[in-house]
Structure 1
Amino acid sequence: MTHLSWLEAGVIGLVQGVTELFPVSSLGHSVLIPAVIGGSWSHDLNVRAGESPYLAFIVALHVATAIALIAYFWRDWLRIVRGLGTSIVRREIVDRDQRLAWLLVLATIPIGIVGLVAEHFFRTTLSRPVPSAIFLMVNGLVLLWIEHARRGTADATTEYVDERVSGVESDRRLAELRVPVAVGIGTAQILALAPGISRSGVATSAGMAVGLDREDAARFSFLLATPVILAAGLLKLGDLAGPLGNGIRGQAIFGAVLSGIAAYLSVRFLTRYLANRSLRPFGAYCIAAGAACLVWFAVR
């Protein structure tokens, strides 16, 4: 018996691809959308169920999102992986690519450890509609606060700059981060285990809080997200090949393709948008959407 319709797969796939990178929480939307629609959606798309095929479906979407990030930043990842390799072989950290590679490794360790130990607790305990709506509003307040705190700071130039040149220059600046600062930004991602809190949102906000401009902070959050999302997906990819994937593999592939395309277009848009525009619209959206969900749950 199929537990996931093609419509559900398509909608959630598109939403996942967009909300994983936009600072509005993919997990929060994965909880709230089924709860708002209700009916079979609420039953089929239950992220809290331990043996739910929805979890196997989400795994496929995560892998697709990570592949989209790698595809967009492939030149950067070639430099970073090459830098990590030469650093290990030569036992040195002398250039920016080597240093940036190790900063990403070290900054990923906290979320990796906490995710392995506590992901199940966060998912089964907090992944409910009302807490998710509240956390989404908190996420919005964080985005508005960081923009208010950084008010008066000059934005990046609005002139067009070749992305490859801009990326190299951004990585040069990021490679100069002190290790505790980079690890602190990476650690902020732990908050995103709570549904409604955005990984990219808290990482970008943490970067801005320590002095990075919005563009560099967002870029660092995207680079940090790639290994985290990919590892989370690959770690449980066997679920899709096992019994949990029975009857939904076609829908999973369909949703993953849509998620990958949406993620690629989203990161392409955001790298341009955040160069000279504010996080405030995303903050306002999170507050409005969270409040609307709470009202809906109260009156339904």
Structure 2
Amino acid sequence: MSGLGWVEAIVVGALQGVAELFPVSSLGHSILLPAVVGGSWAQDLDVSAPESPYLAFVVGLHVATALALVVFFRRDWMRVVRGLVTSVARREVRTPDQRLAWLLVLATIPVGVAGLALEHLFRTVFSRPVPTAIFLVLNGFVLLAGERLTARAVRREAVPAAGTGTATATVVLPAVDEVVVDRRLARLGVGRAVLVGAAQIAALLPGISRSGSAMVAGLSLGLPRADAARFSFLLATPVILAAGVLKLGDLAGPLGDGIRPQIIVGSVLSGVGAYLSVRFLTRYFEHRSLRPFGFYCIAAGLACLVWFAVR
């Protein structure tokens, strides 16, 4: 690898912050963009290389993204941490905050174990342009399938309008109040929460979105779209942060030599992008669907496959 240029750091840093939370796979875009641009980008930004300095750069981006999520959900995390501490101290699980804290802990275990066991294998084997483009197309179809589940749930809730005999869908929009939403999430069964958390394992495959997988799993279990999105963002925070912290040695070691200024700039952009993205998406999913992201993933993945075939 020749190095990490400033333009590369700025573009990929900004892209990471947005794509990590939008259900379009940040890892997939980090692989496909350099492959499409080609030249030094494809050489410099090779995530599949076992000892690539690009990995040190990605570590910085992940830590910045996680910190942005902590800042945005700071009130939630204060309640969650307080609930976990009081639960352990009193040996009880009674309040919504205590229950939500343990749901997040238990739901994070499957992806944590899978990440430790499989991340290196999946990255070195699958993190190549063609498989990534195929997985991105698959991610699009998964998102569209999740929306079909939502539409069916709405139809099941349709009730006959009084005196008309016709069906009228009765949709209760998720409450905007974060405390109310968290209390709703705290009522999830342990098994269902773990299933949503385990869905993030699919994101070890480049092109499959972590937030998208968790959201679709939540929708399949009957969560409203906004609740599924919020739960996926809360689940993503410890996973992304742990992934970054566990590899901080790469950032501080030889892999980070010569590119630390670019890492700082890219990380700042990633953090800002992540904060703005989660702020937008928490409002977006109160009323709107996953379909645009599904269509985008299918179109982008197919376009990349065509590009790789004809180039």
What TM-score comes out, normalization by structure 1 length?
Answer: 0.96
Residue 236 of structure 2 corresponds to residue 225 of structure 1: yes
Find the counterpart in structure 2 of residue 207 from structure 1: 218
1:69-112, Cα deviation, whole Å (9 max, x unpaired): 00000000000000000001111101000000000000000000
Q: Which runs of 5+ in 1 are unaligned?
A: none
Q: Read off the aligned partner of 1:218 and give its amino acid letter.
A: A
Q: In the alignment, which residue of structure 2 is the partner of 1:62?
A: 62
The 1-side partners of 2:51 and 2:143 are apart by 34
Retained in 2: the 8 A contact 1:2–1:248?
no
- 1:2·1:247 contact (CA, 8 Å) conserved in 2? no
Secondary structure class of the residue paired with 2:297: helix
Match for residue 245 of structure 1 among 244, 256, 263: 256
Of the three residues 174, 180, 188, the one matched with 1:169 is 180
Which residue is 2:27 aligned to? Answer: 27
Superposed, 1:1-300 pairs within 5 Å as: 3-151=3-151, 153=154, 157=173, 166-300=177-311
Q: State the Cα deviation string for residues 173-220 of structure 1 (Å, max 9, x = none).
A: 110001000000000000000000000000000000000000000000
CA contact (8 A) 2:127 2:206 kept: yes
Would the aligned equivalents of 1:155 and 1:277 in 2 still touch at CA under 8 Å?
no
Query: Hey, what's the Cα distance between the residues in 2 that align with 1:209 and 1:170?
Result: 18
Answer whether contact 1:24 1:139 (CA < 8 A) is retained: yes
Query: In the alignment, is the contact (CA less than 8 A) between 2:149 and 2:219 conserved in 1?
Result: no
Q: How far apart in 1 are the matches of 2:149 and 2:50?
A: 41
| Compared CA separation, residues 95 and 254, structure 1 to 2 (3 A) | same
For the residue of structure 2 that corresponds to 1:150, the secondary structure is helix
Question: Which AA in structure 1 matches 2:19?
Answer: T
Q: What is the Cα deviation at residue 297 of structure 1?
A: 0.1
Distance in 2 between residues matched to 1:133 and 1:202, nearest whole Å: 17
AA matched with 1:57: F
CA gap of 1:157–1:180, structure 2 versus 1, over 3 A, is closer
**TM-aligned CA distance change 1:155 to 1:205, over 3 Å:** farther
Q: Indicate if the aligned counterparts of 1:48 and 1:123 stay in contact, CA closer than 8 A.
A: yes
Q: How many residues align?
A: 295
Kindly provide the amino acid, as one letter, of the partner of residue 49 in structure 2: A
- The structure whose Rg is larger is 2
Kindly indicate whether the alpha-carbon contact (under 8 Å) linking 1:155 and 1:214 is maintained by their aligned counterparts in 2: no
Separation in 1, partners of 2:280, 2:21: 10
Q: CA deviation at 1:157?
A: 3.8
Two-structure CA RMSD over aligned residues (Å): 1.3
Structure 1 outlier segments of 4+, above 3 Å: 154-158
Superposition deviation, residue 149 in structure 1: 2.4
Contact 1:156/1:215 (<8 A) preserved: no
Counterpart CA distance in 2 for 1:3 and 1:156 is 52
Percent sequence identity over aligned pairs = 68
TM-superposed CA distance for 1:120, in Å, is: 0.4
User: Does structure 1 conserve the Cα–Cα contact (< 8 Å) formed by 2:9 and 2:265?
Assistant: yes
For structure 2, the residue ranges without an aligned partner over 5 or more in a row are 155-169
Preserved CA contact (<8 Å) 2:2 2:43: no
Equivalent position amino acid for 2:264 in 1: I
- Deviation string 1:29-81 (CA, Å, 9 cap, x unpaired) is 01100000000000000001111110000000000000000000000000000
1:238 positional shift: 1.4
Q: Shift in Å at residue 156 of structure 1?
A: 5.5
